[in-house]
Structure 1
């Protein structure tokens, strides 16, 4: 007997007693989604549940549970945090350049030209297959790219330290924005390539039970590096900040403790020295594969080794998967709601007279939260429903943008102007229009994609795989 009821296929999931007429209460209905889970999928889930329960006391405090969970991977996590910190430093320096340009009264149009320097991080998927497939067995799969990239970043910074003051126009000159963009574009390209290598290394450096913490290391390390390259630099470069907080009155000066050239020179040497230590002291060991005692003979998992053409073929097949297409659509459009508030607010505040060092000091209070919060929510982001946190925080972030938009109206200033006997001409600032439009787009986006994001977290992992088995493709 074959029957289909709604989303359920009864042809294979309803069991009948051949001797009696079945009653509806005797039918066992299994959703179609459950049939899609293959044997390997169920074995993976069983293995993960057993590993996560092992040696972890559920009654202990959060810190103790985290320590027990990460046992055996703590040194690897510390190394990943440091590598991601190094990656965040050039990103922070690139992020500080627009603030320096604003202080020199460079127009938004010219600053838009410099924004091309950010593009390599958005386009790194294009050369990621090359990084994944071309490597030296002597150095290791990930170090073959990470080590040269970090050496080049260090050398690039050392060279840049001798030229950057002239490019920025000195004390009174006008910055050469186009040349500045052409200088920082390859620097960001190297950082993006290093990111590809470190992301891949994180998947094999951490054991399978803790591989979900790779994204946490990325978020925490990059945040710390961005803090050092952006906020710390802007504070130390500001004469006002240094005179108020770091110098005595008799030692006040018109310049900060460091300038852009000196700061870049320092980090250039940090990159070279630390990369040498990693090259000598750290070996590549694949810890993502369970020990042989937990894996049946003949089913050991090995990392695929593909050529360049094969890697691009696999990438093409991955991009054709429906869950991947939906995830790409979500990731490419998810931040449209915050494009104006994230990209323009700092520049707008500088235009309104807030010193860049005061603006950067806000990060002193926000950065500790940005570093601690990923660890605090790691239990959920490394679990089976990592996007629930994203869905929970999204509407509140839109709400904050609306509060800023509403509170920054000009009515009070207009009243003060009128009471003084002057005529006030109120113009609508394009910044507030942009924030309003982006917030509206975010509300519509949330309503459209909410159920789809929930669905993507429920489908079995087999639907995310190009190859159903773990063997290397033919």
Structure 2
């Protein structure tokens, strides 16, 4: 993000200014697209898999696309997996406003996106250390305990994020003159705390996937669970982005008949401008959405904590495909 900004590159990395950043989005995608194609091709031609002998499982059929999708269908028929999928699809609703909208609101408040991109640099040591620190707590029989403990902190962080967005225009009236040290410090601390919660949940859920995955289907099991996890984080974010504007309260100020115009749609906004007024935000929908998501998150925690403890208590056979095949 920082290398894409011409302002950042001209200020810190170039002796002569140019109109574009060092990296452009098309160039970035083009380069890594070729890297992906080349590495995938090399793996396809140079790597050979040897089927391991596992006496606990039935004979595994030849690996092909049809077999893989049949395995996915069989995995999804397991009651334990169905419960886990429901948990994964709903557990991130409470964080959706913070994860999807907070950064956009900071940019809307005037913070340059390249400056926000630079915040990730001091967080790299945190991101490297967190899996090592958390690993010893997720190697036991109950790796999702860390997952549950991180949820309340991540929900509370939503209010901290809302406060950060609210105070940004006051602390940074003009971002072109630079960001105050106090604000940058607070921003880094907020992002660091957020990353701690995110990595606690991520490492614990990955440890649980590794614990329950049936080795008879290779990486298919893990791929399915990871896909559901990603989907569970994406669909609430889409809704969060969609509802920010409808939840925002605005008022036309400065024009004729301004008190009757709430700027709820394009027609009212155009009418406000035509009368010499300006649509002013009286209550940002981000704050309303943060409260709604937090309430949903804490309610979900009451339900989800029981379900997570239940699936952790299940026997390993509840997650194995061979159990279903033997029962037929």
In the superposition, the TM-score normalised over structure 1's length comes to: 0.41
Match for residue 130 of structure 2?
Answer: 373
Match for residue 204 of structure 1?
Answer: none
**Shift of the alpha carbon at 1:433?**
0.9
- How do 1:183-198 and structure 2 match up within 5 A? none
Bigger Cα Rg: 1
Which structure 1 residue ranges, 5 or more long, are not aligned? 1-233, 291-297, 417-421
**Shift of the alpha carbon at 1:439?**
0.9
1:281 partnered with 2:42: no
Aligned counterpart in structure 1 of residue 301 of structure 2, from 427, 432, 446: 446
Q: Residue 282 of structure 2: SS of its match in structure 1?
A: coil
| Deviation readout 1:152-187 (Å, 9 max, x if unpaired) | xxxxxxxxxxxxxxxxxxxxxxxxxxxxxxxxxxxx
- How do 1:267-346 and structure 2 match up within 5 A? 267-286=32-51, 289=53, 302-305=59-62, 315-346=72-103
Aligned counterpart in structure 2 of residue 427 of structure 1, from 275, 282, 289: 282
* CA distance in 1: counterparts of 2:73 and 2:45, whole angstroms: 36
Which structure 2 residue ranges, 5 or more long, are not aligned? 174-252, 255-279
Q: Point out the more displaced range, 239-248 or 278-287.
A: 278-287
**Shift of the alpha carbon at 1:376?**
3.5
Contact 1:405 1:436 in 2 (8 A): no
**Shift of the alpha carbon at 1:470?**
8.1
Give the paired residue count.
Answer: 223
Match for residue 252 of structure 1?
Answer: 17
Aligned counterpart in structure 1 of residue 153 of structure 2, from 381, 385, 396: 396
**Shift of the alpha carbon at 1:285?**
3.0
Q: Residue 50 of structure 2: SS of its match in structure 1?
A: coil
Match for residue 9 of structure 2?
Answer: 242
**Shift of the alpha carbon at 1:310?**
7.0
Q: Residue 21 of structure 2: SS of its match in structure 1?
A: coil
**Shift of the alpha carbon at 1:259?**
1.8
Residues 446/284 of structure 1: CA separation in 2 closer, same or farther (3 Å cut):
same
Residues 342/308 of structure 1: CA separation in 2 closer, same or farther (3 Å cut):
same
Aligned Cα root-mean-square deviation (Å): 3.6
Residues 282/441 of structure 1: CA separation in 2 closer, same or farther (3 Å cut):
same
* CA distance in 2: counterparts of 1:274 and 1:307, whole angstroms: 21
In the superposition, the TM-score normalised over structure 2's length comes to: 0.57
* CA distance in 1: counterparts of 2:59 and 2:83, whole angstroms: 29
**Shift of the alpha carbon at 1:466?**
4.1
| RCO comparison, higher one (Cα < 8 Å, 6+) | 2
* CA distance in 1: counterparts of 2:117 and 2:309, whole angstroms: 37
Match for residue 173 of structure 1?
Answer: none
